């Protein structure tokens, strides 16, 4: 073989090697998606609730995803596709009660597709019971603390308890902590009622922001002494205007209530 032929053979071999390496590199870069973390379902498995599915984590840089919700037995087996349930969210249906749900996500790119299925949800619970029918603005059944949202006119809130600390209030008192109890519907404590308290005359103590009542029906607020206290050298009482209302209602309407209370003042001693 001549020198020229040897050079030509070497060039051909080199080109083949380059093409082979390029082919291997291109093959490595071309691959269908692969699932590295399964999809997950968030939300409450209950009729009437909406569940949301994540896509999971994938290799292969998928360019699109498709979801398919599946109804399974209580053990999460025997799954079947649910017609029309092909988005990332799913409104739980009556037919799902007593079963579990899974979602199958399919990822695609130019080189192919792959699917992964989530774990099963909890067993689907029945739809939540509707709010009890009210009688005169009060729930027809139940006991214990009421949420203010379940109280409606003609029922009214009632401010039926109050306390102050320190007691009596003295000339040197800097902060006064006041507490008010709100009830309705034959003495049931009311939670989430907004309570406002203002000392009268004004400018004796600061006016705290409206404060919601807790699970025990009490709202606690702190008022800071202002320049106009005491209102008189002979002042014996601190009068406080108190209002309790329901969020979103007119302060003078709905179930709101108002009351004037007083706390003892001792300026001497």
Residue 141 has a pLDDT of 75
Full-model pTM = 0.53
Q: Span 163-189, mean pLDDT?
A: 96
Average of per-residue pLDDT values in the chain: 89
Helix (H) or strand (E) holding 218: strand 218-224
254 has a pLDDT exceeding 60? yes
Q: Span 154-171, mean pLDDT?
A: 96
Percent above pLDDT 70 for the chain: 87
- HEC sequence for 96-141: HCCCEEEEEEEEEECCEEEEEECCCCCCCECCCCCCCCEECCEECC
pLDDT digits over 114-125, tens only? 999 999 999 999
- Residue 13's pLDDT band (boundaries 50, 70, 90)? low
Q: Which domains does the chain have, with CATH numbers?
A: 34-117 (2.60.40.2700), 134-266 (2.60.40.10)
20 has a pLDDT exceeding 80? no
23 has a pLDDT exceeding 60? no
Q: Does the CA dihedral 212-213-214-220 come out positive or negative?
A: positive
Residue 9 has a pLDDT of 57
Residue 252 has a pLDDT of 86
pLDDT digits over 188-246, tens only? 999 999 999 999 999 999 999 999 999 999 999 999 999 899 999 999 999 999 999 99
């Amino acid at each position: 073989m001549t020198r020229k032929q040897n050079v030509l053979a070497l060039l051909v071999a080199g080109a083949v090697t380059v093409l082979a390496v390029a082919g291997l590199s291109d093959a490595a870069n071309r691959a269908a998606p692969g699932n590295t973390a399964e999809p997950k379902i968030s939300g409450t498995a209950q009729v009437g609730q909406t569940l949301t599915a994540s896509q999971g984590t994938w290799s292969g840089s998928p360019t699109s995803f498709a979801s398919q919700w599946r109804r399974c037995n209580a053990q999460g087996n025997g799954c079947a596709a649910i017609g029309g349930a092909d988005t990332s969210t799913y409104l739980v249906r009556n037919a799902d009660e007593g079963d579990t749900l899974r979602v199958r996500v399919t990822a695609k790119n130019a080189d192919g597709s792959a699917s992964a299925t989530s774990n099963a949800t909890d067993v689907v619970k029945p739809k939540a019971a509707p709010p009890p029918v009210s009688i005169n603005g009060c729930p027809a059944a139940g006991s214990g603390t009421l949420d203010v949202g379940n109280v409606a006119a003609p029922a009214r809130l009632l401010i039926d308890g109050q306390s102050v600390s320190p007691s009596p209030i003295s000339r040197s008192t800097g902060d006064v902590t006041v507490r008010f109890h709100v009830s309705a519907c034959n003495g049931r404590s009311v939670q989430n009622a907004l309570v406002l308290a203002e000392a009268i005359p004004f400018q004796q103590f600061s006016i705290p922001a409206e404060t919601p009542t807790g699970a025990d029906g009490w709202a606690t607020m702190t008022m800071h002494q202002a320049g106009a206290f005491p209102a008189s050298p002979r002042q014996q009482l601190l009068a406080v205007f108190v209002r309790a209302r329901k969020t979103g209602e007119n302060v003078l309407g709905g179930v709101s209530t108002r009351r004037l209370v007083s706390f003892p003042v001792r300026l001497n001693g």
